[in-house]
Each structure stands twice: as C-alpha cells, then as structure tokens.
Amino acid sequence: MKYKLYIKPLVLFVFCFLLTLTLTTAQNFELKGRIVDSESQQFLDEVSVTLRGTVFGQMSVVGGNFNFKNLAPDRYVLSLNLDGYNNYEQVVKLTQDIDLGKIYMVKYGAEGTGAALQKTIRATNITNLFNDRPNMLGGNMVYGIAPEAAKVEGNNYLDKKWNTASLLLYRDQKILEGYRVRYNITANQFELMEPENNNVSVMMGLRIQNLVWVDSAYKVPRYFVNGMDFLDEGVPISGFFEVLVDGQLPLMRRTEAIFKESNYNTALMVGNRNHQIVKRNTYFYLEGKNVIEVPSNRKKLMALFGNKADEMEKFVNENSLPTRNPSSLFQIFTHFNSQFDGFQPIISQLLDEN
C-alpha cells in the first residue's frame, strides 16, 4: 500500500492550490460604465466594448451599460467602437472597483470633441503606437539604439490658466457663479474648481449655454457662447465661440487645437522630434443664427457692410488696416457696429490673436 505515502502531500498541494485560487479571486475587481451619444444624450446599446490586448470583450446593453467582472488588477485600455461614431479609448489603472459613469461617443461629422479630432485623426494612431510600444521598442533604430520617444508639446486648453467665471446652464437656466474654469478644446469640456476649495470636477460643454470669465492675466471679461445655438451650413455646431464684437454684425472667434505629428527624420537628424499641439483661430461673422467665416478677400469683406461699404473702405484706407490681420478685423467690425444705436463694446482690445 505504498500509495498511502502520497496522500498527505497530495492533500497539502490541493489545499495550497485552492487557497491561492481563493486569494487571487478575492483581489479581482469590477469595471463598468454607461455609453451615451454626445449630442442626443441617448444611451447607446450594441457598442463593442473591449479591453485591448486581452480576451475581454462585450456589447453594451440595457441603456448603454457594460460591466467587466473579476478583472485582475492591471493597466487596461478600454476601447469603444460603433459604426458611425468616432472610436473612443481610455486608459484605466484598475486597483479597485471602478464606475466610469457616462462615457460620451461622438458621431462622425459632429464636432463634440472639437474640430481638431476630425482633422487630425492620425493622432489616434499615435496614441495606439504609444500604448502598444511605450518605449518605441521594435521601431526604427540606429545602430541598435532606440531613439528617444517623441513627446507632445503644447496643450488642449483654450487658456491653461484658471479663470474665475460665471456659467449659464441650458437646464433650468441655472447660473453657476465664482467657479474657476479651464476649457479643454479637444474634449469640449470644462474643468471647474470649486470656490471654497481646490476640488475639480468636469462638465461637458454641451450643458453650458454661455459663460463669461475674467481673464487672469489681463483682468478683463471674455464672453463665450455655445455653438449649438448657431448653424454652419444648416447644422448645429459643438464647441464655443468667443464674442469679440456684438451689434448689427457680430464678430466671433473659434479656437481649434491642431495635432501636428513629428516629422523628425532619424537618419538625417532633421525636423521636429516632438509632436505638437498648436492653436489656430478662425474668425466668423453672424447673420441670424448662421456663422460664416470672415472672407480673406478684401472686396468680399467690404461687401458684408452693405450700403456702408464705401465708408468702411475709406476707414480701412485711412488707418492702413491690413484686412487679414486679426487686430484690424476687430477694429473694422467695432467701427461698423459703433454706427448703430445701442452699441456697447465688449472688449477694448483683442486678446490671444495667435
């Protein structure tokens, strides 16, 4: 009966295995959230929800919900995909149960995350590259030495400083006073710092109708309106416009954050080594609810002023104003609107011309 000699070691092995399995299971966590259309606010079902590089995947159901259970603590890349929508990715470091709450997906053609997203879609490819090969291992190398990973210079904020603001919300026309805010252009969302402490919360731009903040550097108010209240070729716009001149023919400005990929040539050692986020301003005038880009052609610009076109032409010539210059546009529109009763200037000088 020699087999009896192996019973105790076998029992001990099984016990240790079960104990290890129990302890491992006890350390697993849950990751869940709800997926929402950024424009309609409707919950999205049948979204493909995966954790990239793993076997975990499911479809959102019953009001846009997804729920991964028994996940080992680790760093995951949550990926959302649905036909007709921009792909969404978010890095999650799972060390406890996490509820991501509402996650907004943006339809193609909508600009809920800023026009920069549509025009610099290659930025997604760069993000994927960093997630897959964070040290650029396996990429182009010179003499076996990995090149220094490219960094991203710049930021997505309209103004990276915190500015004291008053916000008017669409819902119930509620006003929030005294918050310090920063606006993320690409995400079309505001970071709000509470007046009494340094707690920071995030509010999607689509909830805010307009706001005024006091520029922390120049100590002057700046006024912003939600593009959803206006039309571009008949379509509502997401993102915010700064109102520069109000009156008969308002002048507004929209700022985009543009991702410029590194063009560095490793072999020749020329070009920009880092990726860059640069800001670009575009100027618009308002006709009814339609926002129209200010024409760069001088003749077309003068035509906007109707029966005062000759007078405006004279004003431009006398003051030697180059019509493509933002400061000149500000002066031109200010002068035109000042000829109508009730005109009151919003600002006395143009800030952040870029």
Domains, the chain, ordered by start: 29-150 (2.60.40.1120), 153-294 (no CATH)
Higher pLDDT, residue 335 or 26: 335
Average pLDDT over residues 53-81: 91
Query: What pLDDT does residue 353 have?
Result: 63
Both structure tokens of 10: 């076998």
pLDDT at residue 128 tops 70: no
Average pLDDT over residues 286-310: 94
Query: What pLDDT does residue 5 have?
Result: 43
Average pLDDT over residues 118-140: 36
pLDDT at residue 188 tops 80: yes
The pLDDT-based confidence of 108 (bands split at 50, 70, 90) is low
C-alpha–C-alpha distance, residues 118 and 109, integer Å:
7
Query: What pLDDT does residue 1 have?
Result: 43
DSSP symbols for 171-222: GGG-EEEEEEEEEETTTTEEEEE-TTS--EEEEEGGGEEEEEEE-TTT--EE
User: Which uninterrupted H or E stretch holds 334?
Assistant: helix 326-337
pLDDT at residue 123 tops 50: no
Residue 130 main-chain phi, psi, to 5 deg: -65, -35
Higher pLDDT, residue 261 or 310: 310
Query: What pLDDT does residue 153 have?
Result: 84
Higher pLDDT, residue 283 or 2: 283
Q: Let me know: does 193 contact 200? Beta carbons within 8 Å.
A: yes
Give the angle 290-291-293 at the CA atoms, nearest 5°: 140
Average pLDDT over residues 20-36: 76
Residue 192 main-chain phi, psi, to 5 deg: -115, 125
Q: Let me know: does 103 contact 88? Beta carbons within 8 Å.
A: yes
Residue 353 CA, distance from chain mean position: 21
Nearest to 73 by CA among 31, 131, 136: 31
Q: What is the average pLDDT value for the chain, to the nearest integer?
A: 79
The pLDDT-based confidence of 69 (bands split at 50, 70, 90) is very high
Q: List CB contacts of 291: < 8 A, sequence separation 6 or more.
A: 227, 230, 231, 232, 237, 241, 252, 284, 285
Q: Let me know: does 250 contact 306? Beta carbons within 8 Å.
A: no
Most confident of 131-140, 177-186, 234-243, 277-286: 277-286
